[in-house]
A and B are shown apart, each in its own frame.
Chain A
């Protein structure tokens, strides 16, 4: 049972997505775990064959409990992956005969593409790449017909959880999602007007009959929201108790960045447009990579610097609540790819389809208040991280440029940092690095 956050002590294994005998690869989603806050897709990080599943669905176990036993696959022809980017088994063999000129191998599919392929049930080794040098593009994956998997009902973890709560048999639900997948609304429609009464926990209805579907859903959703609120509260209280926070603030002129974005987006379809937040995340990732002391974990009394930058992005959930899952290797993504990853992450966060690695891996979190937000946020660090970057609303304000008064779009960037690891000097360098990166948006 992985730790999916500093506040997690146990989790409930709700569903296995593999069977004994299945071969699994690094990054495959193999189970769904329910935490008090939401359902999370759990990935495996070894290659092997599933030998035995050790925990029954529905069982709650402490973090660290073995969930399954894997055996290494004998006589495997794949080389031991030293760098996941270069030797992933899903990397395609070029289908067309290589001519003398095309000696460069096609780039292996990016993590974003691998996840997309996995979510769609597409085997990347069967996809014909139409990008340069046979590289597989996003559109190649999207246009690959999803193979029929009769043994597994297509339904998101959230739909499955709702089915469990409403006692609906998924096999009887007509799916209206992509490729006939069962969605949450399909499940709720199938639950019908007279669901089984939920003992004790539903609010007492005005009539002495079973609670109406609306009320029952509200009770379960309200409980979820309350449980999430408690979990967030506990984590924030712990952070305030244990981490000596210091705070810095700086105003960033986004004139160059917004002008660059306007030009970039002007002749692009909406699906390819980039938002200011993507530029700010890339700038933060670069600063996290280059300035020591902001990117890593404080564990057992010492700071462990992380060489990878996985920015946690604070996402507010529409029903209330907050999650801050990671975009892996944020510093190595191009701005358009970062935008794709961000859209995908936020959509899955709101749909309750986040992955274990996204919950456990953030090395530094960014909280962006957005267009309706206040001008600045002085946040609380998520342990075991050691810093939090806050971004307020972008506002138009008078500003001095070359000793002349003008109006510029400005954003207030704040840093909350762990005084056991850094002090104001390094914190200032970090904010200055974010600022500098945003003054050259074309280099991001």
Chain B
């Protein structure tokens, strides 16, 4: 998956979890949890859906690398087929 594909996929998943969030105004470097009000269950759902759609299942030890939108995109892009 290239960066554009990852971005689209991640945006799609975030749109399902937080349908009322304005994804265009999200600061890509800021913590996603505060940007679009995700709690720990939402974040786990995000990780689960990413695992299903991209095959990349982010372990807890790597959570600190995927706090931001851009971090998430980079991580998924680097590890997906």
Residues of A within 8 A of B (CB): 262, 265-266, 269-271, 273, 275-277, 318-319, 342-343, 346-347, 370-372
Contacts and interface: CB of A to CB of B under 8 A. Distances in A.
Interface in B34-81: 34, 37, 39-41, 44-45, 47-48, 51, 57-61
B40 A266 contact: no
A92 to B, nearest CB: 28
Given A271-B48, A275-B41, A319 B60 contact: no
B71 to A, nearest CB: 17
B47 A371 contact: no
Contacts of B44: 270, 273, 275, 343
B4 interface: no
Given A273-B44, A343-B45, A347-B45, 18 more contacts: A266-B61, A269-B57, A270-B51, A270-B57, A270-B58, A275-B40, A275-B41, A275-B44, A277-B41, A318-B18, A318-B20, A343-B41, A346-B41, A370-B40, A371-B33, A371-B40, A372-B34, A372-B37
B46 to A, nearest CB: 9
A95 B20 CA distance: 47
Nearest to A274: B44
23 contacts: A265-B60, A266-B60, A269-B51, A270-B44, A270-B47, A270-B48, A270-B51, A270-B58, A271-B51, A275-B44, A276-B40, A277-B40, A318-B19, A318-B37, A319-B20, A343-B45, A346-B41, A347-B45, A371-B33, A371-B40, A372-B33, A372-B37, A372-B39
Category for how many chain B residues contact A = 10 to 19
Contacts of A275: 40-41, 44
Interface of B: 18-20, 33-34, 37, 39-41, 44-45, 47-48, 51, 57-61
A252 to B, nearest CB: 17
A21 B45 CA distance: 41
A342 B51 contact: no
Contacts of A319: 20
A273 B61 CA distance: 13
A306 to B, nearest CB: 26
A216 B61 CA distance: 45
Contacts of B57: 269-270
Nearest to B52: A271
B60 A273 contact: yes
B15 to A, nearest CB: 10
Contacts of B37: 318, 372
Contacts of A318: 18-20, 37
Nearest to B50: A270
A269 B19 CA distance: 25
A226 to B, nearest CB: 16
Contacts of B19: 318
Contacts of B45: 343, 347
A271 B18 CA distance: 19
A266 B33 CA distance: 22
B80 to A, nearest CB: 15
Of the candidates B40, B41, B47, the one having the most CB atoms from chain A within 10 angstroms of its own CB is B41
Most A C-beta atoms less than 10 A away, residue of B37, B39, B44: B39
Nearest to A271: B48
